[in-house]
A and B are shown apart, each in its own frame.
Chain A
């Protein structure tokens, strides 16, 4: 019973992760749950692709990770945004806004 959700556009996963972490630090499963909430309604995120993305962002210096006790009392790896990551999020938001704005503009052009 596949839902009529479409796959997440290339490159937006990173932005979503940054956005989620900009609210508060979270571990992988927490991020997955948040993504699940989003994806239930709109897009489909493969849970497996989360971890490569997290490690890639960490390697780029946009995320920092540390092991902490989670809400169930077990050790979990928590990720949080670094200042560079915060800057990157702003950049991506901006370029996303411009891109979608431009696409909208084209659509409006066509519908006129």
Chain B
């Protein structure tokens, strides 16, 4: 370190040394002359004794160390020689900066979404507790690791394996804190949450076990640090303030530690409330969720030191088996077959390490992110190959210089090291530029991401990890792009190099051809990927949601969260529906219980009664809609009738009166029979009574997202068990113009009721395609960039080949070869490289098949047409790139070519 510092003050060190030696020299000369030796002789002897130059060199070695000194001189030489060829430097820097910037940006998302451990005490000991027993008997949803609350309480007794157990669920509540109420994301947590995670308060206190002792025990709120800063300006007197959660007053008791954002990267809570306040804070239920088996929260546990997840999982069995048998005797346990009962009783808890917490966002994004990460890796590799190619080209231009240096006694390793210093310097500079490029790239990426929450959860900032990663990537890129030219530099014969004329020199044709072949292969892989994702996107857009989205507007309300009773909420929805329809700008309007195209759905099994009883073999998506819903969206009614007012039961009565199913449902379960009049019901238990007759069949429409081709069942809205609603409105003219009047309507009815969101359906469709669009746009630009890089590489190497063979071609022409044959000669070379590249790429694409398949729609990864088209584009571009030098070769004048020698 001190040596590096010495480099920067070497000027003053040199001056000091000079003075010091000068003093010595003068004294010695003085002493010698005093002893009677004539001055010229004295000076000579003093100089010989001291051997001045050697002393200086040796002292410099002391200051810097041999290797560092050489290395720094290499670097300085590199800087000078790079500055002398600015276009070369700019090209290489740009390609490296792009490659490193892209991979750094993607890595930051990979890190934040997939790899980053929670900022809690010893995250390595956290496990997620899951159980698949319930799914076995109900065939239910169960994919979000949801667990019932009582298990959490019982797991807390298992202290042999666990230091502590917490449970949590994300909820959305309406918060009123001195202003209008608005929906805010929060986390409802057990009293053990903060102690188990080891997260303390930044101010006041966190939620404690006493807050969660009994239902209603702790009307307390703990704010997240960010929310406290953003909403309350970091007010120091925040503890003790009263806020309204829904309709219930609660007290802010503290602020959680800065940097802690809950256990789910995709859902950042603004605050935490204890599970004891479940009934008050929320929600769409009167059920006593704390004592029943409904699965609504996730359980995380902290293992005791030295206990592994597998040990704990096995060790829990003796306790869990009796628990299962006990639960199977409870009154709420469904009637199931003997086989299912056996499966249920044999089910076990599953413990998976969860140092990163729990995150559905991770599940949905990890595959696209890894894909993009791989693509940027390939892109960076391509950029490195390009730089390597440029270095080789520069190597041949510098051949005379290098040969002269060799002849003057430089060792080959010394010259190789110099070239390596060049590439490392370029790569590190490129890396610094790349790091500067990364934050805007990250912002752009985050804007692409599907979830609204992702925008809050992910940060376009550079962390120390990320910096390390970028430097590592740059270093690897430097080695990768420099090693081949550096090794190569040591190989040629000095005499030959010096004898050859300028411009030809260092060969490396075979090496450069290999590099171009690899580039062709890499860019073909990226091109095929781009074509696949583009076809997926266009395929989904062409398919559409199954209805006309133009002039369609939607907005949502959640009255239960604002303290409405079910009956009041139902009346409110009905009232708003009628009022909206009466607005002059509105053509037609309808309401649905669940929103479409948001990724979620109300799914369950269905029981169908024809001549026998059928239970659906996979989840059916349900929704409840008001009369006129299908007409408003423009979904065709294929058979039967739409719902009408008489289908809605008055409050207090239970169960839907009739149902409408979609075409896919008929195709799967009622093929070949008249669906109208068949009775169906929601749920797959044996005690479910199929009593709702099918009164209509509609065309298929998307529910969760555009890929969705699920079976769907619709019930009439305005049943007694109604919750919130999403309104769908067909307007006259531009949808945006209708928004103010609708807002006014809702505010007139209840000024405290927030509108959750207001969106056009076009917008909604776009949002639902975010991941696909991101993949298509990014892989498209990566593909284009890759194509460009490899074409430039190919052009470069072909020009080089042609220059080298000018004389040979000239002789051939002089001996009577035609121009066409000269053209063929060169193009054959290029075609061989292209063919080899394609041959390399195809097996790789086949191998990647599995990785990408789930991201595709309407096309397979090895789709012959797509692969052929991509290969054709590449081959055509490559031939054009090769044709220019080939044309030049065919136009060689024999006399000129021979005179060149």
State the A residues within 8 Å of B (CB): 27-29, 32, 46-49, 51-52, 55-56, 59, 70, 72, 74-77
Contact = CB atoms under 8 A, between A and B. Distances in A.
Interface in B845-860: none
Contacts of A51: 17, 20-21, 55, 58-59
A55 B16 CA distance: 11
Contacts of B314: none
Nearest to A72: B27
A56 B66 CA distance: 13
B28 interface: yes
Contact of B20 (A48, A49, A52, A77): A77
Interface string B40-54: 000000000111101
Given A47-B50, A48-B49, A59-B2, A77 B62 contact: no
B486 to A, nearest CB: 32
A56 B63 CA distance: 8
Contacts of A70: 23
A77 B19 contact: yes
A11 to B, nearest CB: 15
A24 to B, nearest CB: 18
A102 B243 CA distance: 85
Nearest to B13: A55
A48 B24 contact: no
A27 B58 CA distance: 19
B734 to A, nearest CB: 77
A74 B26 CA distance: 11
Contacts of A76: 20, 23
Residues of B in contact with A, size category = 20 to 34
A32 B28 CA distance: 10
Nearest to B49: A47
Contact of B23 (A27, A52, A59): A27
Contact of B50 (A48, A59, A74): A48
B2 A52 contact: no
Contact of B63 (A59, A75, A77): A59
B62 to A, nearest CB: 4
A28 B58 contact: no
B721 interface: no
A65 to B, nearest CB: 9
A29 B51 contact: no
A55 B51 contact: no
A76 B50 CA distance: 17
B707 to A, nearest CB: 68
A80 to B, nearest CB: 15
B691 interface: no
Contact of A55 (B26, B28, B59): B59
Contacts of A59: 2, 62-63
Those 6 A-B pairs whose CB atoms lie nearest each other, nearest first: A52-B58, A48-B51, A55-B62, A29-B27, A48-B55, A56-B62
Contacts of A27: 20, 23
A71 to B, nearest CB: 10
Interface in B1-27: 2, 16-17, 19-21, 23-24, 26-27
Given A48-B54, A75-B19, A28 B62 contact: no
A72 B27 CA distance: 9
Interface string B731-743: 0000000000000
Residue among B2, B51, B62 facing the most chain A CB atoms (10 A cut-off): B62
Nearest to B30: A72
Contacts of B163: none
10 contacts: A28-B21, A49-B55, A49-B58, A51-B17, A51-B59, A55-B17, A55-B62, A55-B63, A59-B62, A75-B19
B61 interface: yes
Contacts of B49: 46-48
A74 B17 CA distance: 15
Residue among A27, A70, A77 facing the most chain B CB atoms (10 A cut-off): A77
B15 to A, nearest CB: 12
A74 to B, nearest CB: 7
B392 to A, nearest CB: 41
Interface in B518-563: none
A30 to B, nearest CB: 9
Contacts of A56: 62
B50 A52 contact: no
B49 to A, nearest CB: 5
A28 B24 CA distance: 7
A32 B62 CA distance: 19
Given A55-B59, A59-B62, A77-B23, 13 more contacts: A27-B20, A28-B23, A29-B23, A29-B28, A46-B49, A46-B51, A48-B58, A51-B58, A51-B59, A55-B63, A74-B23, A77-B16, A77-B20
Contacts of A32: 24
Contacts of B26: 74
Contact of A29 (B19, B24, B61): B24
Contacts of A77: 16, 19-20, 23
B26 to A, nearest CB: 8
